[in-house]
Amino acid sequence: MKYLDEFRNPQHARQLLKAIRQRATRCWRIMDVCGGQTHNLLRNGIEQSLEGVIELIHGPGCPVCVTPAEVIDQAIELAGQPGICLMTFADMLRVPGTKTSLQAARAHGHQVRMSYSPLDAVKYAREHSDVDVVFLAVGFETTAPATALAVKQARQLRLNNFSLLTSHVRVLPAMRQIAFSPECCIDGFLAAGHVCTVTGYAEYAELAQQSGLPILITGFEPLDLLQGIRTAVDLLEQGQIDVINEYSRAVKEEGNPAANQLLTDVFEVVDQSWRGLGVLPASGLGLRKDWEEFDARHRYRLAMNASHSETKCRSGEVLQGRLKPGDCAEFGVRCHPGHPLGAPMVSSEGTCAAYYQYYSLRSDHRSSISE
């Protein structure tokens, strides 16, 4: 078993599609929380195949999309200081801040390097003692353990040229925000499977019961996604509210204890600003006081600039499922992956970019599983 082809079997995909079509008596609105799921639903033609049967709504789970513009501004400010090298994930480079992006700043001589992992940034700092390395750390609970491990390694190695500019977010408060909003427009969640590998799902039962929305813990392969949708439809048709783990090969109810230990050692829960959504209480992970020496905001005395720039981007509505990208006036006009006006058009996990890539090319881009 390689855990890939087995979960992409086209015949089983067709059977699952058929089961969903037969079962659904109305067009249930199901939100996939994670950007990776959004990407795969569109790339594999699942959303397209279920058009008119199930409405798939794409949630706030693209970390690149929810990082506030002001954090990008801070990163750019640091990258412009002599002696500092700003490192971050490739996707972050093109995200617009309030004025410009890290990529544009780099073209103007700022020190910016891509890095696949915060651990690589620690390695780079170790090998370049003359450079002050700042890692811009974003992401959900899937990525936060890597950040926590990086800072622990840096302390163990006694590095004094490594620090973090953090903007880590937690999934559950964002799901709550959507579920309890008076404008809530969904009937159920496909919860982010990889986040659940870390956090587990013990806390989801309360959310499901209080909100009346079933929650399916779902993986990323086509059969995982279809199975999640099928079970969601079954529950909705029976009027049942439940939390079901459809990704049991990777997710345990208690999550990953070692990863959680890293998170509690290094981070505390803080209020966090989300791009497009504003400040959500207890929705972020900030460095504990004990790790202050590795906090770039402390080390370089950065103030959070509260200037909110005027933007035509309607990402907040897109992230809550209230607006389809195609209904944004800028979509495909002034906003496209080569020239993103907003963060959801940057990352391949961003809803706008996924729609641009797979919807406009739908006829020749459908994968083998659809139809």
Partner 1 sequence: MCLGIPGEVTAWIDRDPLFARAMLDFGGIRKECSMVCVPEAEVGDYVIVHAGIAIARLNSEQAAETLAQFSKLPADEEEA
Single out the residue of 72, 84, 149, 174 in contact with partner 1 (rule: CB under 8 A).
Answer: 149
Cβ 328 to partner 1 shortest distance, Å: 23
Per CB under 6 A, 97 contacts ligand SF4 = no
Which does residue 111 bind out of partner 1, ligand SF4, none, counting CB within 5 to 8 angstroms by kind?
none
Side-chain-side CA neighbours of 289 within 13 Å: the count stands at: 0
End-to-end C-alpha distance for the chain, whole angstroms? 27
Cβ 196 to partner 1 shortest distance, Å: 9
Cα gap 256→275, rounded to integer Å: 28
Single out the residue of 20, 24, 30, 36 in contact with partner 1 (rule: CB under 8 A).
Answer: 36
- 223 burial (CB, 10 Å; 0-12 / 13-18 / 19+) is buried
Place of tokens 């590998």: 197
- CA-CA-CA-CA torsion sign (350, 355, 358, 361): negative
Structure tokens at 318: 């897109």
Which does residue 352 bind out of ligand SF4, partner 1, none, counting CB within 5 to 8 angstroms by kind?
ligand SF4
CA distances from 253 to 195, 199, 371 (A): 12, 8, 35
Residues 210-269 that bind partner 1 (CB under 8 A): 220, 223, 227, 246, 248-251, 256, 258-259, 262
User: How many residues at the interface with ligand SF4, by CB under 6 A?
Assistant: 15
Cα gap 184→336, rounded to integer Å: 28
Single out the residue of 89, 124, 294, 331 in contact with partner 1 (rule: CB under 8 A).
Answer: 89
Compare residues 250 and 323 and give the one whose CB is closer to partner 1: 250
**Residues 335/338/340/343 CA torsion (nearest 10 deg):** 130
Per CB under 8 A, 145 contacts partner 1 = yes
Stretch that binds partner 1, among 142-150, 174-182, 279-287, 313-321 (CB under 8 A): 142-150
Structure tokens at 347: 């990352």
Residues 47-66 that bind partner 1 (CB under 8 A): 61-64
Cα gap 70→76, rounded to integer Å: 10
User: How many residues at the interface with partner 1, by CB under 8 A?
Assistant: 60
User: Angle 10-23/222-238 helices, nearest 10 degrees?
Assistant: 20
Cα gap 13→222, rounded to integer Å: 7
Picking from 121, 120, 168, 117, the residue whose alpha carbon sits closest to that of residue 141 is 168
- 240 burial (CB, 10 Å; 0-12 / 13-18 / 19+) is exposed
Residues 262-301 that bind partner 1 (CB under 8 A): 262
Single out the residue of 24, 34, 42, 76 in contact with partner 1 (rule: CB under 8 A).
Answer: 34
Compare residues 61 and 321 and give the one whose CB is closer to partner 1: 61
Residue 295: DSSP 8-state: B
Residues 321-350 that bind ligand SF4 (CB under 6 A): 325, 328, 330-331, 335, 341-342, 344-345
Cβ 309 to ligand SF4 shortest distance, Å: 13
Single out the residue of 12, 113, 126, 336 in contact with partner 1 (rule: CB under 8 A).
Answer: 12
Single out the residue of 259, 287, 352, 354 in contact with ligand SF4 (rule: CB under 6 A).
Answer: 352
Can you give the C-alpha Rg of the chain in angstroms?
Answer: 21
- 226: three-class secondary structure by DSSP: helix
CA distances from 51 to 17, 28, 67, 207, 371 (A): 11, 11, 31, 28, 12
Residues 287-326 that bind ligand SF4 (CB under 6 A): 312-315, 318, 325
Cβ 217 to partner 1 shortest distance, Å: 12
- Which residue ranges make up the site for ligand SF4 (CB under 6 A)? 312-315, 318, 325, 328, 330-331, 335, 341-342, 344-345, 352
Note the residues at the interface with partner 1 (CB under 8 A). Answer: 1-4, 6-7, 9, 11-12, 14-16, 18-19, 34-36, 39-40, 61-64, 89-91, 116-120, 139-140, 142-143, 145-147, 149, 152-153, 156, 194, 197-198, 220, 223, 227, 246, 248-251, 256, 258-259, 262, 347-349
